[in-house]
Structure 1
Amino acid sequence: MPHPALEVADIFRTHGAAWRAAHAGHLSLGQLKVMSAIEACRTAALGGHVERCERCAHTQIAYNSCRNRHCPKCQGAAARDWLADREAELLPLPYFHMVFTLPAAIGDLAWSNKAVVYDLLFKAAAETLLTLADDPKHLGARIGFTAVLHSWGLALTHHPHVHVIVPGGGIAPDGSRWIAGRPGFLLPVRVLSRLFRRLFLEGLSRAQATGRLGFFGSQAHLAEPEAFNAWLAALRRIEWVVYCKRPFSGPAAVLAYLARYTHRVAISNSRLIACDADGVSFRWKDYRHKGRQRSKVMRLSVDEFIRRFLLHVLPDGFHRIRHYGLFGNGVRQANLARARALLAAAGKPLAEAPAPDALIEPSRCCPCCGGRMLIIERFARGYAPRPALSHPIRIDTS
């Protein structure tokens, strides 16, 4: 893959110091850490190693990654490791993609209450799916699923939502058989939307009653119980968006989707076009034209671009990928074994194995002759390679 001409790191290195000075006192420690990590990623500040081709002796320096979960460069390796575990857990049946989205008014509240609101978003979406799937009027089965939080829209605005990957069926309450959903259908979206709205607003009301929410700026008046209750009442009268896409075409398609979504950050380097003193240009897709996506170019001031990027820094320790129901941590392997046994008894074929080359990073090859690159020296952060070895043809920062 070609090296991007422009990276988020370049913007931070050029404009980050001035931006931090201009906004001193208004940034969280987490945001400052993210900026620092991205600026240092794949540079001498983090150390690295020297590689040499065993065939043609081509030599190059490769600097270490910051491994910050908000860094656009560092998500590929993390995604591959995570996907290796998920590949072994796929079941031989259709998978559905569902999206639970919060209204804009709650998105504004979430900006200053990320840990509480994002956690509630996960819990309300999970309880909605588990409750309706367990209802005999719908599926009548215990299901499992994986949920991934995204806090952004394609224009880097604050748009909290969770993507959920759900197998098309579940285990009967007594554990005796596998119950499959109808072809191309899992659960009614309208019923999902209403229950999700009720569960989320009930949870938000409890959070306010126990003092776990903070209200600032234009929402400061919501600290008064009467104003907060009136605000909730207005949210109960609008439709909430729960979207269910058609099933994936097979296990390989599920993994390809997860590879794109699980470790995504607010904007990838490949979407950036240009940056100068006047602003940053990047590509985005507009879906508002009768359901069709239209590729556009957006230009923001440098100040606004950095502000929007940092909107999406998660609280320390917050898990943005979570597993529920049959896939819950601690019970997942036993439930998967039970599900496979029930599916086999029902005559379901084994899952198709995804093409390994699509998910595994190719080994380090020499850019000159294609030979194998061997590590001949490692050096710690703040140090440089030994002089005898410091004659690389290029420095690899990709």
Structure 2
Amino acid sequence: MSRINEIFRTFAPEYLRRFGDSMPAEHRKVIDAIINCRTEVNGSVVYHCQDCNQLHLVHRGCGNRHCPGCQNHKSRQWLDKQLRRQLPGHHFMLTFTVPQELRGFLRSHQRIGYAALFAASSEAIKALCTDPRFTGGDTPGFFGVLHTWGRQLQYHPHIHYVVPGGMLASQSGQWHPSAVNFYLPVQALSKIVRAKFRDRMAKAELLSEIPAEVWATDWNVNSQAVGSAEASIKYLTPYVFRVAISNSRIVKVEDGKVFLHYRKTGSNRLRTLALDALEFLRRFLQHVLPTGFMKVRYYGFLSPGSKVPLEEVRARIEMAFGFELTTPEVEPEPPPQIVCRHCGHELVYRYSILPHRRRLAAEVPSG
């Protein structure tokens, strides 16, 4: 059982007693899922060790996308897929962060607010990409990942975009590379994303709920040259199928408090933060996404619906650099093996037990 499971099973009943009547339905579903994760409620799988003949009963995970213990295999699959799709050449990471004055509004209007942030930031990139002063192309490709937490689990919504350093020209099909250390001006991106977000809030008739300071504040946009795509993809992978915190960062649970490790931005020194258990649950749950909301989105020639095959984009980039660039070869990581806790040999799948057939597994030892 993971530490996060233990925290939820121990303290969630009190959290529900205090806040259950006012919490979003998504939060209650996540609480139930994490409490019941890796228990017979979700069914079980029976494995057999062919070396020592032992049977092992393993309870299924909940599969909820906000459960830290259930997303490792999905993270590996996404990482392998994106590494196979990566393009040669230099890349950038563009990060759009909303001003602090807007965070309260976003927290209470997550579905429409997050969607508007994706739309406004992606449209800002596309708008500047058509400016011939920068690359000479007019068709970019990029993907973005929504990230809502800071290192101490505080609410800090922002979107990271991984962008190949260049654009296609729609007429000629040629690849126009950007400078290695510059993609688009962040000051212009800041103004455009703010204006486009405001337009969407006006259309939704929500402007009256947003503090006026939001429109007088410069929105934080950062552009960082990151070299190849691989480093950025590996950086973002943990945020695609995980929420807020991993089990490895939790040091201990003691006297009703949760102790967790974190590092301040720009520092490598490991610090420890102590949170009241109910405050830990509150901070964790505020990062639960609306049901069905897509936190990873693809645009331009990286979109699944693009008319230009990715293989053609790759060939155009290689041609633009005189074929001096090649796409890195990537070997997918093998999936982790399930081994016998008695002898260490690999286990073989035998059969699954559905939740309503739990009584049939009474004779199989858990392990």
Report the TM-score when normalising by structure 1. Answer: 0.85
Aligned mate of 1:33, from 23, 29, 40: 29
Matched, 1:366 2:340: yes
CA-CA distance at 1:302 after TM superposition: 1.4
Distance 1:125-1:294 versus aligned 2 partners, 3 A rule: farther
**Structure 2: which 5+ residue stretches go unaligned?**
none
Distance 1:9-1:190 versus aligned 2 partners, 3 A rule: same
| CA shift digits 1:118-141 (9 cap, x unpaired) | 111101110111111221112232
Aligned mate of 1:107, from 103, 106, 111: 103
SS of residue paired to 2:194: helix
Contact 1:48 1:381 (C-alpha < 8 Å) held by counterparts: yes
Contact 1:12 1:39 (C-alpha < 8 Å) held by counterparts: yes
Matched, 1:66 2:62: yes
CA-CA distance at 1:338 after TM superposition: 2.5
Contact 2:84 2:330 (C-alpha < 8 Å) held by counterparts: no
CA distance, structure 2, for counterparts of residue 127 and residue 241 of structure 1: 16
In the other structure, the counterpart of 1:219 is none
In the other structure, the counterpart of 1:301 is 276
Matched, 1:205 2:202: yes
CA distance, structure 1, for counterparts of residue 216 and residue 362 of structure 2: 70
CA distance, structure 2, for counterparts of residue 374 and residue 110 of structure 1: 47
In the other structure, the counterpart of 1:217 is none
| CA shift digits 1:209-231 (9 cap, x unpaired) | xxxx49xxxxxxx45xxxx5xx3
Seq. identity, %: 31
Report the TM-score when normalising by structure 2. Answer: 0.92
In the other structure, the counterpart of 1:243 is 222
In the other structure, the counterpart of 2:83 is 87
Aligned mate of 2:317, from 323, 343, 348: 343
CA-CA distance at 1:165 after TM superposition: 0.7
| CA shift digits 1:295-334 (9 cap, x unpaired) | 32111111211111111111111111111111223217x3
CA-CA distance at 1:292 after TM superposition: 3.2
Matched, 1:263 2:263: no
Contact 2:180 2:225 (C-alpha < 8 Å) held by counterparts: no
CA distance, structure 2, for counterparts of residue 296 and residue 367 of structure 1: 34
CA-atom RMSD, angstroms?
2.1
SS of residue paired to 2:288: coil
CA distance, structure 1, for counterparts of residue 216 and residue 38 of structure 2: 50
CA distance, structure 2, for counterparts of residue 258 and residue 45 of structure 1: 32
Distance 1:31-1:387 versus aligned 2 partners, 3 A rule: closer
CA distance, structure 1, for counterparts of residue 63 and residue 362 of structure 2: 28
In the other structure, the counterpart of 1:179 is 176
CA distance, structure 1, for counterparts of residue 55 and residue 45 of structure 2: 11
One-letter amino acid of the counterpart of residue 280, structure 2? F
Contact 1:49 1:377 (C-alpha < 8 Å) held by counterparts: yes
Matched, 1:143 2:105: no
SS of residue paired to 1:165: strand
In the other structure, the counterpart of 1:189 is 186
CA distance, structure 2, for counterparts of residue 298 and residue 56 of structure 1: 45
Distance 1:280-1:165 versus aligned 2 partners, 3 A rule: same
CA-CA distance at 1:169 after TM superposition: 1.0
SS of residue paired to 1:247: strand
One-letter amino acid of the counterpart of residue 336, structure 1? L
CA-CA distance at 1:106 after TM superposition: 0.7
In the other structure, the counterpart of 1:314 is 289
CA-CA distance at 1:260 after TM superposition: 2.5
In the other structure, the counterpart of 1:134 is 130
Contact 1:251 1:351 (C-alpha < 8 Å) held by counterparts: no
In the other structure, the counterpart of 2:252 is 274
Contact 1:38 1:71 (C-alpha < 8 Å) held by counterparts: yes
In the other structure, the counterpart of 1:356 is 332
CA-CA distance at 1:370 after TM superposition: 4.2
CA distance, structure 2, for counterparts of residue 247 and residue 102 of structure 1: 22
CA distance, structure 1, for counterparts of residue 216 and residue 361 of structure 2: 68
CA-CA distance at 1:378 after TM superposition: 1.7
| CA shift digits 1:14-53 (9 cap, x unpaired) | 1111210111311111110000011111111111111122
SS of residue paired to 2:85: coil
**Structure 1: which 5+ residue stretches go unaligned?**
215-221
